[in-house]
Structure 1
Amino acid sequence: MNILLIVISILLSVICVLLALFQHYYFINKLYKRPSLKYDVPVFDDLIPSKENKFENNLNYPLQQIDDHDSDIVLNDLNSVLESRPQQKDTIGYILKNDKATGTDSEVYNTLQAAIAFKLSGKSLKALKLFEHAAAIAPENADVLNRYGEFLEQQHQDVLTADELYFKALTHSPNHEAALTNRKRTAPVVEGLDYKLFKDIDKRNDFLKNRVKLGGFETVKKQAYYLHIYHTVGIEGNTMTVEQLRYLLQTGQVVSGKSLVEHNEVLGIEKAMQYIKLLVRADYIGIKEILGIHRRVMGHVDPMASGVFRDEKVFVGSHIPPPYEDIPDLMENYVEWLNSEEAQNMHPVRYAALAHYKLVDIHPFVDGNGRTSRLIMNMILLKAGYPPVMVLKEQRETYYDSLKTANMGDVRPFVRFVAQCTLQILDMYIYGTRFLSLEGNSEEGKKIITFE
């Protein structure tokens, strides 16, 4: 009997020790361990082009290479693809530019009734103009927004914009029955369209990954790099042309007629992109790394404010970012989310877009928030094996409008905008590599590879 008690006591002691060890392991390794950002082998991690081709050519047939002296042609080709690509319709952009109603109640009512009458009589163009006017003078009127959404959905089959208008109507009137009914119908459709958009991105990205394995990608990558910097600084108002910017980066010589600030903006982005290239393979992205990105972005422009959180109140249009006293805690929460499994389990494009928006919403710096956010967005895409995204200068208004819509509570248009930009850049790369064709003896080998 005594022996049995001793054995039981020993077993209980062993179990207690095992439970204590398990508890220690759980708290130390699960709760306090820094999770790492997952990444695929980054195919496009050479934001700063290497001097030699990244991919070795082990194929037993020749490739049609693009010579360095043809770089001007390549640059113009890539730029022409971006310019010729249809820009996203800015159907409700003017709505977002107005913060308060500018029309009287009777004017709004009469305009809306006239728009409905023209719609019923089949005069769609006149109806559209009246709906636009009603939304412009009454951007917070739920009836106007809902009716306008119904018109776009029924007459133009524009479910995406209609859904955005229904959502906006509900932000101002949460119990609006017609808007609730309409959004219940459109929300699943929009979700399906967004899913299809991500599938299209993945299909193009897989195609491009196979394409660049052929080699001869260096010149395309280098000229795309110049375009990337050109549009990144251009959104912020930099007036350098892409040719001037390339001259500055290649020679280090001053560009005549351009300000010192514009020169420093370009040099800052280049340094930040070099740093991003290093961070692509980092295990953890924390506040130190985010401050490091900003320090490089703004180091040449404003050394005293670079790499430090703001200590003053700022305004971004009608949006008022959080008080500067809250920034340290908000950034800790941001970093926790950035490295969380919840974020990493999203589609990489959605994850990257939300990382961009969340940082811009906090607005932790006096200046350089947009550039820093876009770099973090591209770091995430690079980690996941996608090329870096360009937001074109010509897309500036749509870009800011989608951010403003996100501030109102609907982040989907901004995610969709980033997804469209991703498709845009994939198409540019695919077009730029169209001459990487096989020159074997077969008829199939003589064809230029095209994406379908």
Structure 2
Amino acid sequence: MAKSTQQQSVLMLLQQSPTALSLRDIELKINHEASARTLRRWLAGWVAEHKIEKTGAGPSTLYQIISQSDDSVAPVVQGDSFGFLRGLDADLRVGLLGQIRDLWTHSSTALEGNTLSLGDTHFILEQGLTVSGKPIKDHQEVRGHARAIELLYQCVEKPLSEELVFSLHRAVQTEPIDDIYKPMGGWKVEANGTHMIGRDNKQHFIEYALPLFVPRLMAEVLDFINSIGAEDISLANAAAIYAKVHMSVAHIHPFWDGNGRMARLLANIPLLKGGLPPLVIGQETRRVYIQTLSNYQVSIGQLTSSTGVWPAPDLLGAFSDFCASNYGSTQTLVDEAFAVQGRRSA
């Protein structure tokens, strides 16, 4: 790759990243196509030209694009941006968001097989260091999911677009893959499916929506999410709305990988719009979670542009109940933060 093209790729990477990147992050994302020494020289030049900003020092140094537009994304959660933060002192808001980020990231990645504990996840995200003996891939997944949460927070007030969905996918797909059949930040290009054991104790193959139908089906999902206003969400219906969005993305399976994490991210947008904390599915419920998803998908069959996304919404009841049973961990964190606030105010 020509030098100028490489430089453009790195600048574009920084521009598209929702958070600051370390030198190591950049090396991994460009698949080591430029040496660390070369990258340092480019980065130093761009800092001098005020194209990017540099924070930290040594291994903790981070780089981020300097926005040239008035339309730049606002910093993550200022003041009382979300209803569940209102009434808390600034340090308690920051602490609560950190706790939710750690729990959400740990639970969502653990459901996909990540071996890092909640404590490991907190250490990596807070200190920017690695945990000895744990795979690099697991570290990358945790950092990527945390970046996706930040991007989600920044964009809750905006209409959800296809490009934002692709940005979230690029955040969670942290392992560089050079394969046209495995697009990062794009819909799948090959059919996918999986097998499961049904309630009848027989094997079933679940065939997800064909690539041909994905753009139209996902447009229906995005339209539904965008149609929901803050006044439409309450604790009484939050789990049901979460379940509807989650199931739609899981059933379509629009990406070659990362569908579970994406479903759990997108399904929380309506809740955040309504001022509620995100719903986090616990890793300890993994078997019931997968079985409940699969039972619905087998009952419905493959989705097409003719079936639409929700051909039998009445069958979502079991999954809605499951999601409701998991909507407690983040609410507990919120209650604990307000208990501290109450003691301060006493």
TM tier relative to shorter chain: 0.5 to 0.7
| 1:322 pairs with 2:245 | no
Inter-partner Cα distance in structure 2 for 1:370 and 1:210: 30
Summarize the Cα distance change of 1:213–1:255 in structure 2 as closer, same or farther, 3 Å threshold. closer
Structure 2 counterpart of 1:310: 188
**Shift of residue 332 of structure 1?**
2.5
| 1:361 pairs with 2:266 | no
Aligned ranges for residues 33-432 of structure 1 at < 5 Å? 54=79, 212=88, 216-282=92-158, 284-300=159-175, 302=177, 305-317=183-195, 318-340=205-227, 345=232, 347-407=237-297, 408-409=299-300, 410-432=315-337
Structure 1 counterpart of 2:66: none
AA aligned to 1:390 is V
Asked whether the 8 Å contact 1:405–1:411 carries over to 2, the reply is no
**Shift of residue 344 of structure 1?**
8.4
Residues 377-407 of structure 1: CA deviation (Å, up to 9, x unaligned) = 1222111110012111101112112212322
Inter-partner Cα distance in structure 1 for 2:150 and 2:98: 13
Residues 221-254 of structure 1: CA deviation (Å, up to 9, x unaligned) = 3233212211111110000122222222223223
Asked whether the 8 Å contact 1:327–1:362 carries over to 2, the reply is yes
Inter-partner Cα distance in structure 2 for 1:295 and 1:395: 27
Inter-partner Cα distance in structure 1 for 2:277 and 2:261: 17
Inter-partner Cα distance in structure 1 for 2:91 and 2:125: 25
For the residue of structure 2 that corresponds to 1:316, the secondary structure is strand
Summarize the Cα distance change of 1:429–1:248 in structure 2 as closer, same or farther, 3 Å threshold. same
For the residue of structure 2 that corresponds to 1:361, the secondary structure is helix
Asked whether the 8 Å contact 1:48–1:225 carries over to 2, the reply is no
Inter-partner Cα distance in structure 2 for 1:48 and 1:300: 25
**Shift of residue 340 of structure 1?**
3.6
Structure 2 counterpart of 1:434: 339
Inter-partner Cα distance in structure 1 for 2:141 and 2:88: 31
Asked whether the 8 Å contact 2:242–2:268 carries over to 1, the reply is yes
Asked whether the 8 Å contact 1:268–1:300 carries over to 2, the reply is no
**Shift of residue 342 of structure 1?**
11
Query: TM-score, normalization: structure 1?
Result: 0.48
Summarize the Cα distance change of 1:211–1:405 in structure 2 as closer, same or farther, 3 Å threshold. farther
Structure 2 counterpart of 1:59: none
Structure with more contact order per residue of length (Cα contacts < 8 Å, sep ≥ 6) = 1
AA aligned to 1:277 is Y
Asked whether the 8 Å contact 1:230–1:245 carries over to 2, the reply is yes
Farther off after superposition, 427-436 or 246-255 = 427-436
For the residue of structure 2 that corresponds to 1:435, the secondary structure is helix
For the residue of structure 2 that corresponds to 1:307, the secondary structure is coil
Residues 119-166 of structure 1: CA deviation (Å, up to 9, x unaligned) = xxxxxxxxxxxxxxxxxxxxxxxxxxxxxxxxxxxxxxxxxxxxxxxx
Inter-partner Cα distance in structure 2 for 1:439 and 1:335: 42
**Shift of residue 259 of structure 1?**
1.4
Inter-partner Cα distance in structure 2 for 1:233 and 1:338: 23
Q: Which of structures 1 and 2 has the bigger CA Rg? A: 1
Farther off after superposition, 233-242 or 418-427 = 418-427
For the residue of structure 2 that corresponds to 1:390, the secondary structure is coil
**Shift of residue 335 of structure 1?**
2.5
Structure 2 counterpart of 1:200: none
Inter-partner Cα distance in structure 2 for 1:341 and 1:390: 20
Asked whether the 8 Å contact 1:294–1:307 carries over to 2, the reply is yes
Asked whether the 8 Å contact 1:348–1:381 carries over to 2, the reply is yes
AA aligned to 1:279 is C
Summarize the Cα distance change of 1:301–1:387 in structure 2 as closer, same or farther, 3 Å threshold. farther
Inter-partner Cα distance in structure 2 for 1:287 and 1:249: 28
For the residue of structure 2 that corresponds to 1:247, the secondary structure is helix
Inter-partner Cα distance in structure 1 for 2:250 and 2:178: 21
Asked whether the 8 Å contact 2:149–2:265 carries over to 1, the reply is yes
Structure with the higher helix share, 1 or 2: 1
Residues 298-321 of structure 1: CA deviation (Å, up to 9, x unaligned) = 144547531111111211323110
Inter-partner Cα distance in structure 1 for 2:101 and 2:109: 13
- Uncovered stretches (5+) of structure 2, i.e. residues with no partner: 1-73, 196-204, 301-314
Q: Percent identity?
A: 23
- Uncovered stretches (5+) of structure 1, i.e. residues with no partner: 1-45, 56-204, 446-452
Asked whether the 8 Å contact 2:96–2:333 carries over to 1, the reply is no
AA aligned to 1:311 is V
**Shift of residue 436 of structure 1?**
2.6
Summarize the Cα distance change of 1:374–1:341 in structure 2 as closer, same or farther, 3 Å threshold. closer
For the residue of structure 1 that corresponds to 2:279, the secondary structure is coil
